[in-house]
Amino acid sequence: MPYLALRTNKTLTLSQEVELKTTVGKLITVFPGESVDTFMIHIEDNQLIYFKGQEANCMMITLYLKGHYADEQKQQFVSELTKALVKITKIPASNQYVTISEFEKWGHGGIYE
């Protein structure tokens, strides 16, 4: 189950949040075996985040994946995600940062596997 956390200092509308959920749910399929049915998203807007010492709109995105994927798949995801975030939130690509962490195992339903 991929987990994506979006943090921004910009206030998002409910419509934007729903569009983010829907869009990222489609984009996650770049990783084999993943789909909206295996995906979790956490959106935190209106956070106190200073960017380059100012209150400029920005976003930090963290994706956690179980397993390892090719750099080409991760690049495709980051590229498409960045474009979608610009369209939906109007936060410039230059003010978005994405990290991806991959894990061999993690716990779910009381089982670590």
| pLDDT for the residue 7 | 99
pTM: 0.94
Contact 65, 100 (CB under 8 A): yes
**What is the Cα–Cα distance from 28 to 34, expressed in whole angstroms?**
6
Q: How confident is the model at residue 15 (pLDDT cuts 50, 70, 90)?
A: very high
Q: Which tens digit of pLDDT belongs to each residue from 23-73?
A: 999 999 999 999 999 899 999 999 999 999 998 999 999 999 999 999 999
Instruction: Report the chain's mean pLDDT, rounded to a whole number.
Output: 97
Q: What is the domain partition of the chain in residue ranges?
A: 3-107
The dihedral built from the CA positions of residue 80, 59, 25 and 23, taken in this order, carries a sign that is negative
Phi, psi of 3 (to 5 degrees): -125, 125
| pLDDT for the residue 10 | 98
| pLDDT for the residue 57 | 97
| pLDDT for the residue 102 | 98
Please name the CATH architecture into which domain 3-107 falls: 2-Layer Sandwich (3.30)
| pLDDT for the residue 101 | 98
Q: Which tens digit of pLDDT belongs to each residue from 82-94?
A: 999 999 999 999 9
Tokens 């798949």 identify what position? 73
Residues 6+ apart with CB under 8 A from 95: 51, 56, 57, 58, 59
